[in-house]
Amino acid sequence: MCLGVPGKIVEMYEQGGLQMCKVDFGGVVRETCLAYVPEAKVGDYCIVHVGFALNLLSEEDAKETLDLLKQITDIEAELGPNPSPA
Amino acid sequence: MKYVTEYRDATLVRGVVDEIRRVVTRPWVLMEICGGQTHSIVRYGLDQILPPLIELVHGPGCPVCVTPLELIDKALLIASQPDVIFCSYGDMLRVPGSDRDLFSVKAAGGQVRVVYSPLDAVEIARQNPDKQVVFFAIGFETTAPPNVMSVLKARALGLKNYSILVSHVRVPPAMHAILGSPDCRVQGFLLAGHVCTVMGYHEYPSLAEKYRVPMAVTGFEPLDMAQGILYTVRMLEEGRVAVENAYPRSVSFEGNPAAQAAIHQVFEDCDRTWRGIGMIPMSGWRLREEFAAFDAEKRFDVGAIQTKESPLCIAGQILVGMKKPHDCSAFGKECTPEHPLGATMVSSEGACAAYYKYGR
């Protein structure tokens, strides 16, 4: 229930007074409510829980995190395996 | 898939785990709050590649597991009534009540329907004006925004036949209860990434400070989990207490203001009993008086309920990290996902179900 899946907003429309959209999860498309992300637009990625987008994913933060972790991994490769028994 | 594939990159995960191995010098006990993360850890085998100095214990963040037995029994009674369509997230159907579950109510002719979103339950109410439609509104801070929106939509539509049976719980009071226990072994926390997506993480620094326990906001993919563990272990090794964000692509300090506003419009804080754990003060949400017309507990008089738990099940101790599923004599014997004695064996977020499914 808390797992929430990231997907891409591919179409937006209004229904019964709520901003709704279609979200594409790598081929599976589900109807999703956008009431909590009024700034959403087609092409944005969001985390969806039980039919609701709870945020928009930040591309900039995602890239920064991956770069940071790649850096850690590269340093590891340079230093070789850890000699401590831990 | 963008935002998924790159966070399952085995080389990167191994690199971060190597860094954890480099940093760690002493044994540490970390708790992941969220049951979704427990499943991620076991599914991707992180528990098997982490240095043995790091012990992960599993927290109470499984909404299905902590929904109190009394409310399950109430759900069973309401769902059995002839003019009721009872709607629920699928996970709840096999959760054992005192003497049966929602599946058996359905098998006996009760109208029990699994819905993907609470808005589906509102639509069912709109299409069935001669029936009472009840939605089992369970969960943590993640399902609260969807669940309250169903009430707001039902009110906007003028529906008189829609109500919700509320069993909402919040993470910070549960952490308070765990950390305040004299038996607490937890030295660092991985905070539930999607709870923080909704609520932000401004509630946690005071908790971290009070109990001198570092915390990292953590996501759900294996790389996110490894990163959260690395951040927490680093703080522990450096003797630093802080709340760091290892999931910034999804979580901000403030969280989602629109979702929080809707929650507080419809819900107010209340004491809540957690199954297997007991009453935790102000750990839940209930409907505000203004929304009493949508409260299934007020709409249906189900009388006094006598609950009965399995005497074998140790779910309560598992949910606060005191015991592991293997410590239970019934694990995999009397208790399996097909015939669960306790809710931790049912849910896709329960620790016992994770251990059973992935052969731990």
Q: ipTM of the predicted structure?
A: 0.90
Q: Determine whether the interchain pair B21/A86 forms a contact, defined as Cβ–Cβ distance below 8 Å.
A: yes
Could you list the residue range(s) of the whole structural domain that residue A53 is in? Answer: 5-79
B2-17 residue pLDDT tens: 888 889 999 999 999 9
Is B308 within a domain? no
* φ, ψ (nearest 5 deg) of residue B191: -80, 145
Residue with token string 């700034």: A39
In Å, how far are A20, B126, B293 from B159, measured between CA atoms? 21, 7, 10
Is the residue at B305 inside a domain? no
Closest CB to A58 among B64, B117, B248: B248
DSSP 8-state secondary structure symbol assigned to residue B8: G
Q: In angstroms, what is the C-alpha Rg of chain A?
A: 19
Judging contacts by C-beta atoms under 8 Å, the chain B residues touching residue A1 are: 36, 63-64, 89, 91, 139-140, 142-143, 348-349
Radius of gyration of chain B, Cα coordinates, nearest whole angstrom:
21
Q: What is the 3-state secondary structure (H, E, C) of chain A?
A: CCCCEEEEEEEEEEECCEEEEEEEECCEEEEEECCCCCCCCCCCEEEEECCEEEEECCHHHHHHHHHHHHHHHHHHHHHCCCCCCC
* CA nearest neighbour of A8 among A37, A38, A47, A39: A47
* A11 within a domain of the structure (yes/no): yes
Name the DSSP letter for residue B45.
Answer: T
Q: Domain range holding B115?
A: 65-169+255-299
B63: nearest CB among A1, A64, A74: A1
Structural domain includes residue A86: no
Residue A13 inside a domain? The answer is: yes
- Nearest Cβ partner of A36 from B11, B143, B258? B258
Q: CA neighbours within 13 Å on the CB side: how many for A51? A: 19
Provide the CATH number for the domain around residue B203: 3.40.50.11750
CA dihedral sign, ordered B342, B338, B297, B109: negative
Residue B351 lies in a domain: no
pLDDT digits (tens, 9 = 90+) for B116-128: 999 999 999 999 9
In this structure, is residue A71 part of a structural domain?
yes
pLDDT in tens, B21-71: 999 999 999 999 999 999 999 999 999 999 999 999 999 999 988 999 999
Q: Give dist(CA B175, CA B180) in Å, integer.
A: 8
Strand partners, B138: B167
Q: How many domains does chain A have?
A: 1
Segment A17-46, tens digit of pLDDT: 999 999 998 889 999 999 999 999 999 999
Interface test with A, best of B18, B136, B153, B346 (most A CBs within 10 A): B18
Q: Which helix (H) or strand (E) holds B54?
A: strand B54-61
- If asked whether residues B279 and B185 sit together in one domain, one would say no
Cβ-contact B216, B242 below 8 angstroms:
no
Residue B224 belongs to a domain: yes
In a shared domain, residues B209 and B219: yes
Residue B92 backbone dihedrals phi, psi, to 5 degrees: -75, -15
CA atoms within 13 A of residue A71's CA, in its CB half-sphere: 6
Q: Are B70 and B161 in the same domain?
A: yes
Structure tokens at B84: 């009721």
Specify if B56 maps to a domain. yes
CB contact under 8 A, A66 and B36: no
Query: Which of A:4-23 have CB within 8 Å of B?
Result: 4, 6, 8, 16-18
Q: What CATH number did the domain enclosing A21 receive?
A: 2.30.30.140
- Check whether residue B199 and residue B181 sit in a common domain: yes
Same domain? For B101 and B150 the reply is yes
By CA distance, what is B349's nearest residue in A?
Answer: A1
Q: Is B235 among the domain residues?
A: yes
Q: Total structural domains in chain B?
A: 2
- Inside any domain, residue A84: no
Q: For residue range B229-282, what is the model confidence (pLDDT) as tens digits?
A: 999 999 999 999 999 999 999 999 999 999 999 999 999 999 999 988 889 999
The reply to whether B151 falls in a domain is yes
Question: Do B198 and B103 share a structural domain?
Answer: no
Is A37 in Cβ contact with B22 (below 8 Å)?
no
The reply to whether B145 and B89 lie within a common domain is yes
Q: Is the pLDDT of residue A86 over 50?
A: no
Across the range B326-352, mean pLDDT stands at 89
Q: Is B270 inside any structural domain?
A: yes
Does residue B99 sit in the same domain as residue B126? yes
| Gap between the Cα atoms of B3 and B33, Å rounded | 22
Contact A69 B227 (CB under 8 A): yes
